[in-house]
Amino acid sequence: MSVRHVAIIMDGNGRWAKARGKVRTEGHFRGVEVVRDAAIAANDLGIEVLTLYAFSTENWKRSAEEVGYLMKLPAVFFSRFLKELMEKNIRIAMIGEMDQIPAETAKILQSAMDETRNNTGMVLNFAMNYGSQREIVLAARKYAEDVKNGVRENDLEVNQFDQYLMTSEFPPLDLMIRTSGECRISNFLLWQLAYAELEFIDLPWPEFTKETLKECIEQFESRDRRFGGVKS
């Protein structure tokens, strides 16, 4: 089965920097270049959607300085790489809540999405100010609203819930990779992960390469996804 939708928890920028006697933000800066490399590699591999966890709803707990730096990264990323992404026919998308993001950052994200709107290649989807519990609560509210307005009966089925989630337009999640050795989900795509394959790798995000992605896909392809059934 081919891999259509890959998600990555890009973790370990801070530790990578610290181990080199640098400040944490230098890890984030290097991480931006790796986002470009991963996007190009995923596109070359024929992946349809690459969802990258860039900023969680919990990351606001970090120092104002670090949060401020992280919020400037979309500007850094798109000013350097948007042209190349356009040439590769990649479309930019976002999940998460835009309204709490600083206006300057939101504007940059919105204009990258607008500019690439008609691109038909891979979708590079940033999870920005994203938390899956919040996503599920918002989906529940939307559904409740539909019931209240008489658009729906109170008869929601499991296979219909997706349409209320922020990922509704994307194919089901096949593979989730987390870098830097932590074996946890950190509030990422909780519903979507139900039958995704998981890969936790030790490499910190700044050292992730296209070869790493290829290895992860090979590993994925060697797995036997049974979805609760029995292999015939």
Contacts with Mg ion: how many residues (CB under 5 A)?
A: 1
Residue of the chain from 3, 5, 6, 11 that contacts ligand IPE (CB under 6 A): 11
Helix axes 24-44, 210-221, angle to 10 degrees: 60
Residue of the chain from 3, 5, 12, 124 that contacts ligand IPE (CB under 6 A): 12
* C-alpha span between 201 and 38 (Å, rounded): 15
Q: Closer CB to Mg ion, residue 11 or residue 135? A: 11
CA 206 vs CA 7, 12, 39, 126, 144: distances in Å: 16, 8, 14, 17, 42
The residues in 145-164 that bind ligand IPE, with binding defined as CB under 6 A, are none
* C-alpha span between 61 and 136 (Å, rounded): 21
Q: How far is the CB of 93 from ligand IPE (least distance, A)?
A: 16
Residues 6+ positions from 26 with CB-CB distance below 8 Å: 17, 20
Q: Does 11 bind Mg ion (CB under 5 A)?
A: yes
Residue of the chain from 5, 6, 7, 13 that contacts ligand IPE (CB under 6 A): 13
Q: Closer CB to ligand IPE, residue 61 or residue 148? A: 61
Q: Does 117 bind ligand IPE (CB under 6 A)?
A: no
Place of tokens 């290649």: 121
Q: How far is CA 173 from the centre of its chain?
A: 11
* C-alpha span between 67 and 61 (Å, rounded): 8
Q: Closer CB to Mg ion, residue 11 or residue 26? A: 11
* Selection from 130, 33, 125 nearest residue 79 by Cα: 33
Closest residue to bound ligand IPE by CB: 14
Binding range to Mg ion, per CB under 5 A, among 7-15, 53-61, 85-93, 221-229: 7-15
The residues in 26-65 that bind ligand IPE, with binding defined as CB under 6 A, are 53-56, 59
Q: How far is the CB of 52 from ligand IPE (least distance, A)?
A: 8
Kindly state the tokens that stand for 73. Answer: 């990264």
User: Which residue numbers are catalytic?
Assistant: 11, 59
